């Protein structure tokens, strides 16, 4: 990757770099989508479990499963494609998260690149933990939303709409849990100090709550709390780690002098 004087990249080089990262991410997602295509039935059984027992319905030969339904001639095919792509996005998270980081921090020195290995190692488990938490609260979220259905009325849910809801929950929680990874990675490479992270803590807490309220598919306090509280805790933990790392790094620099 070429750089101009002063280590800055021309705009066209930035665009080429972005295209390269997007293409690599897309290829990774498509490759993992193959897994989702072949294991489609097992995946939809797991995704539909908060609403109905799809496996039992299939084994007993029922014509319907709870409130879920598929409509249209192309409905089944579109659903399978969407499930496959959703699976690809989640399973390929290590690949596209790394591509995102590689685009954000392209001009790192050799020592900084060694420190950024933390991002590569930590990004996947943190994303997985967030995605798992999102999946774990799905039954509670669905129960709360179904509770708004008026008495004597049936709530039929199109599987496509339900899948969009599941996608937003899982990806939102997974991406949100990357916050400490980005903060600590930026601190390790010397771009962001701990005091810079912690000093505007009120703004951070307000921003986290606002983000959760704006993007969480459900408006109930329980679901939003499941995301906001861990995020706030991870933010303060990241800031504390960064402060300790700054003290260690400053002491090391003084010893050299």
Question: Domain for residue 173, yes or no?
Answer: yes
Domain coverage including residue 241: 109-257
Q: Report yes or no on 130 lying in a domain.
A: yes
In a domain, 34, yes or no: no
For residue 119, being part of any structural domain is answered with yes
What percent of the chain has a predicted confidence (pLDDT) above 90?
Answer: 14
For residues 45 and 58, give the distance between their C-alpha atoms in angstroms, rounded to a whole number: 10
Residue 252 lies in a domain: yes
> Is 175 domain-assigned?
yes
pLDDT tens track for 183-214: 888 888 777 888 999 999 999 999 998 888 88
Domain count, the chain: 1
Query: Is residue 44 assigned to a domain?
Result: no
Q: What is the pLDDT of residues 12-36, one digit of tens each?
A: 777 888 888 889 999 999 999 999 8
Residue 139 domain flag = yes
Q: What pLDDT score does 6 carry?
A: 46
Note the pLDDT of residue 252.
Answer: 80
Average pLDDT over residues 129-136: 87
């Amino acid at each position: 990757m070429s750089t101009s004087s002063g280590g800055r990249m021309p705009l066209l080089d930035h665009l080429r770099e972005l295209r390269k990262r997007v293409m690599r991410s897309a290829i990774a997602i498509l490759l993992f989508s193959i897994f989702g295509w072949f294991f489609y039935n097992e995946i939809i059984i797991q995704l539909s479990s908060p609403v109905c027992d799809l496996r039992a319905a299939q084994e007993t030969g029922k014509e319907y499963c709870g409130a879920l339904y598929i409509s249209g001639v192309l409905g089944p095919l579109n659903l399978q494609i969407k499930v496959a792509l959703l699976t690809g996005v989640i399973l390929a998270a290590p690949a596209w998260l790394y591509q995102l980081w590689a685009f954000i921090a392209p001009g790192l020195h050799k020592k900084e690149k060694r420190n950024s290995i933390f991002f590569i190692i930590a990004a996947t488990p943190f994303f997985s933990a967030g995605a798992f938490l999102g999946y774990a609260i799905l039954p509670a979220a669905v129960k709360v939303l179904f509770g708004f259905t008026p008495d004597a009325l049936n709530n039929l849910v199109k599987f496509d709409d339900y899948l969009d809801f599941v996608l937003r929950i899982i990806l939102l929680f997974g991406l949100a849990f990357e916050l400490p990874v980005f903060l600590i990675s930026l601190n390790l490479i010397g771009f962001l100090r701990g005091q810079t992270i912690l000093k505007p803590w009120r703004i951070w807490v307000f921003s986290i709550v606002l983000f959760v309220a704006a993007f969480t598919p459900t408006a109930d306090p329980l679901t939003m709390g499941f995301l906001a509280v861990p995020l706030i805790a991870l933010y303060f933990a990241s800031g504390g780690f960064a402060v300790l790392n700054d003290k260690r790094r400053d002491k090391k620099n003084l010893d050299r002098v």
